[in-house]
Amino acid sequence: MNDIIRIGTRKSALALIQTQLVADELRQVCPGIQVEIVTKDTLGDRILDKPLQEFGGKGVFVSEFEQAIQEGVIDLAVHSAKDMPEELAKGLVIAAALPREDAGDVLVTVKGRPLPDGPLLVGTGSPRRQVQIGEMRNARCALLRGNIQTRLNKLREGEYDAILLAAAGLKRMGLFSAPEFSFERLLEKEFIPAGGQGIIAVESREH
C-alpha cells in the first residue's frame, strides 16, 4: 500500500467536511497513513444557471473525478451517494461507504420573516423535491443551484420564501443551530428522500 492516499473531492465546505470524515476513517484503519486531499470544481459546480438534467444529470459531479482515478492522479474520490450515476466508469467501484446520516429533507425559512398569503416560492433544483413540495403545500418552485452557503445566502437575501435542503448536509455543517433560520424536518413517509441521500460513498479502482 502507498504511504500517501490521494483523495479527490469538490471544493465546497460540505464536500471538504465529508472528505475529512473519510480521511479520519482511513487513518483508523491504516495508522500512519498520510492523506492528501485534491480538490476540483466539476462541471456541475461551474454551471449553476441550468438544471442538471439539461447538461448531463448526476454524472456532472462525478465524471471528472472518475477520469482522475483512471489516470492515477488520485486514488479515491469522495461523493455524496445521491449525486452518483447509476453506472460507474469502467474499472471503478464504490469501495466503501460511511454510516448513513439523516436521509430526510428540510424546508428552511428565515426566522421571523412573514410568509406570503399566496403560494410559497421555494428554491430547489430537484424535480423530486419540486413535485413533492407541490403536493404538500401551496407552493411554486424556482431553480436554485449551488453549495449550501450559496443557497442560504439567496434565502437570506429574499430571493425565495423557503428552500429545500438535505438534513445530512445541514447536520454535518452544524447549521441546525443557525439562529436566523427556521428548519422544518419533512417526514420521510410523506416526503421521500433521494436514493443514497445522507450516504458518503468512496469510489476507487477495482481490487
For 98, counting Cβ atoms within 10 Å of its Cβ (0-12 exposed, 13-18 middle, 19+ buried), the class is middle
**Could you say which of 45, 75, 83, 102 is catalytic?**
83
Mean pLDDT of 135-160: 95
What's the pLDDT score for residue 45? 77
pTM: 0.90
What's the pLDDT score for residue 2? 59
**Residue 9 pLDDT level (bands cut at 50, 70, 90):** very high
DSSP-assigned letters across all residues of 22-50: HHHHHHHHSTT-EEEEEE---HHHH--SS
Instruction: Provide the CB-side half-sphere exposure for 172 (13 A, CA).
Output: 27
Which three three-digit cell numbers place residue 84?
452518483
Which three three-digit cell numbers place residue 165?
435542503
Q: To the nearest 10°, report the CA torsion of 158, 162, 166, 171.
A: 70
Question: Cα 122 vs. chain centroid, distance in angstroms?
Answer: 18
Active-site residue, 45 included: no
With left for phi above 0 and alpha for psi between -120 and 50, is residue 196 left, alpha or beta? left
Q: To the nearest 10°, report the CA torsion of 64, 65, 69, 71.
A: 30
Mean pLDDT of 11-35: 94
Q: How far apart are CA 77 and CA 94, in angstroms?
A: 9
